Amino acid sequence: MSGKDNNTSMTSEAWCRLYGLAEKIRDLTPWRWMQENHIFGVKFPKTNTFGFVSVMGTMGEHRAVTVYLGIDGLRGFWHAESLEPVEDSASIFHVPQLMASFEDRNRLDTGDIEQIQRLGLRYRGKEAWPLFRSYRPGYHPWFLTLDEVEMLGIALEQLLVIAPRARNNISLLEPDDEDSYLVRISQASGNRIIWKDRQMTFKLEPFQIKPDLDRDLFGKVAALEQSDSELDLDCIPAPVLIGPEGTRPRWPHLLMAVEVESGLIVGSEFLAASAGLPAMWSEIPGKLLSMLSKSSIRPTRIRVRSALYHDILKPLSNALKVDIAKRSALPALEEARESLFKFLKHR
């Protein structure tokens, strides 16, 4: 057998194992008793890194198992959990993670269908088709690499062990210390691999958001005569694909500022999240300053939906004497953004 054939055989074996584990999870239906915040950890033997397993579907919604990767993944999950419904819930898709979900056939891409056919597998029915995706900051969901296939397989295998135990004793996943988690760790014993429980503590430091402001630009905006205008400001993932066909496409955020009364777009710019969301958030105050400088506007008030953006812009509020107000809806911005998104989709 050639090296290429051997690699193909190993790849097929790993994929078959992953689909088999997903089928067992689907039949077990752990979402009937496990909630998203019933998280446990898995230490991956090859890399000594951690994944944190979460089950979705308790309320009958999207049924899936997500593995949040590393401390960044765990922190990102809890940040998304803390968001209010009006805030940027899509930010969870820029948290490093692997996902196995159960979909209708029409939700699968051609590549997924071809993979299933190559492996000789058959699925029928509603929400019966396993779908696997990898999520990375700044990129659209994409197909798994072989390493990710193996990691997700390990996580699903351990869920099949933990879920039945949690059904009988959910306190297993509800430790008294909010920083503690049940973690599954492997150990070699002769020719066997034995998995054991361990309680581990993971201190999640707050996101480090460090705006870098241009002093000259800041002075220029501060010197502008203050108008009585209000601006809406928001930054959300944009519906665009960037990159060569066949590669994982980049997924930028769109930062937009709109004058409330007129609906005029004061400024808009794509921001990359590939260095992580905190790095992108750190850019927002400086980008806003640039927009204000170019438009020669120092508004009375800037309205945002997100408590995070409210806090990020607080230093500008004090120095420029601009009120930063949190609102549940930003109608002027939403209308302008919808028009722009329609344009982008038809390009």
Q: Residue 190: left if φ>0, alpha if ψ -120 to 50, beta else—which one? A: left
Report pLDDT digits (tens) over 130-150: 999 999 999 999 999 999 999
CA nearest to 92, candidates 248, 326, 273, 305: 273
CA 180 to each of CA 44, 176, 183, 200: distance values in angstroms, whole numbers, following the listed order:
18, 8, 9, 5
Report pLDDT digits (tens) over 82-130: 877 666 667 889 999 999 999 999 999 999 999 999 999 999 999 999 9
What is the structure's pLDDT at 2? Answer: 32
Cβ pair 229, 332 in contact under 8 A:
no
In this model, does residue 346 exceed pLDDT 70? no
Domains of the chain (ranges; CATH) run: 3-201 (no CATH), 215-345 (3.30.420.10)
Report pLDDT digits (tens) over 162-189: 999 999 999 999 988 889 999 999 998 8
